Chain A
Amino acid sequence: MGERIRLQVARYRPEQESEATFDEYEVPCPKDWVVLDGLNHIKDRIDGTLAYRWSCRMGICGSCGMTVNGEPKLTCATFLADYAPGPVRVEPLRNFPVIRDLVVDIGDFMRKLVKIKPWIVRQAEKPLADGEYLQTPQELEEFKQYSMCINCMLCYAACPIYGLDPKFLGPAAIALAQRYNLDNRDDGAGARMATLSEHEGIWGCTFVGECTQVCPKHVDPAGAIQRYKLSAAVESMKSFFLPRGA
């Protein structure tokens, strides 16, 4: 464990200060250490007051998203050696209020997520005796990509539209709405449309595309939004030209 690297970590202690500052720590840098390992080393061996979120350490829970050298990253999947010789600057996710150090308030995203009803909505349940709802591989393929979202919010941190207008529903919420809209077992597209078609819904997006670039699970939220815009425009044209239905 000869190699070492410097981490410049953003600190915000609201009971002491009103602005963020940076503390610098030197941590080991073996080739299999990720940024999160460096933060855990600081917490365990150097400074136990450092606050940050993490859980699974394997890119599933989505809780360790932070800004690493200016880019939104899952710190459990970002290797320290890639930034050698350093230093590595670790900051909280952008576009969210900071509670302490690297911990941000995700309440805004959680409230928006519920608004798009991220569950299968059924008009009527079929009797249990009729068995499960079967789905072909092609039907699964329609939405599977969007179902890979882990709610890590890197896309919100990368989106300048959300940063400038926090009312914007945002990339992950819209991608998850599409995950259910495109599921052939779901009947909730109409119920979601009111939220999605608001000015702060899909039309708030101007297709910067960075949400897709930073997504660690290749969900392509930008694609989901543009796809919904296209289908919403087609539906709007249909209702204009065929007011009594096609």
Chain B
Amino acid sequence: MSEGHVYTAYHPRWLRQRISTYWWLEKPAYLAFILREASCVFVAWFVVYLLLLVDAVSGGAAAYAQFLAWSADAPILLLNVVSFLFVVFHAVTFFDAAPQAMVVHVGQTRVPGHLVLAGHYAAWAAVSVFVAWLLASGQ
């Protein structure tokens, strides 16, 4: 089907609607989707940051102190604050999607979606409490 051919009764000329490059600004839901997709970059940054932390800890007290000083620099601090917000956004939207993807049965009964969601948040809270306990007990 070429764009240039002549219309005939038995060979209609279709109109192709173009999609704007900025389609993701048309609806808040599309924008939220693009931000969620972009959040993976910040998740990746946190993985790199964690590896740098482990490397600094293994390098001894001086390397660790240098890592802390570098982390306190304004650009790194700003990057980490933005990354944290994106990672929370990533986690919340990921958890919100879980009940749609996970169909859990207990015996013959299907577990309602809000309980699947609650399970995810409970697991998140449990891991957070464990990490907090680990940090507090190491003081």
Contacts and interface: CB of A to CB of B under 8 A. Distances in A.
B49 interface: no
Interface residues of A, number: 34
A206 B33 CA distance: 9
A183 to B, nearest CB: 15
B15 interface: yes
B139 interface: no
B108 A208 contact: no
Interface stretch (A22-30, A33-41, A98-106, A189-197): A98-106
B15 A19 contact: yes
Interface residues of B, number: 23
B86 to A, nearest CB: 17
A227 B97 CA distance: 10
A217 B46 CA distance: 41
A223 B102 CA distance: 9
A220 B100 contact: yes
B19 A160 contact: yes
A128 to B, nearest CB: 30
Given A207-B97, A222-B100, A163 B19 contact: yes
Nearest to A226: B101
Interface in A200-245: 206-210, 212-213, 220, 222-223, 226-227, 229-230
B29 interface: yes
Contacts of A20: 15, 17
A160 B26 CA distance: 11
B29 A206 contact: no
Nearest to A136: B108
Nearest to A224: B100
Interface string B96-115: 01001111000010100000
A209 B29 contact: yes
B23 A100 contact: no
Contacts of A95: 17, 19
Given A95-B17, A163-B19, A209-B33, A223 B108 contact: no
A160 B30 contact: yes
A98 B102 contact: no
A163 B7 CA distance: 25
B15 A98 contact: yes
B12 A141 contact: no
Contacts of B73: none
A98 B7 CA distance: 13
Interface of B: 7, 12-17, 19, 23-24, 26-27, 29-30, 33, 37, 97, 100-103, 108, 110
Interface of A: 12, 14-15, 18-20, 70, 92, 94-95, 97-100, 105, 138, 141, 160, 163-164, 206-210, 212-213, 220, 222-223, 226-227, 229-230
Given A14-B15, A95-B19, 16 more contacts: A14-B7, A19-B15, A20-B17, A98-B15, A98-B16, A99-B12, A138-B108, A141-B110, A160-B24, A206-B37, A209-B29, A209-B97, A213-B29, A222-B100, A223-B100, A223-B101
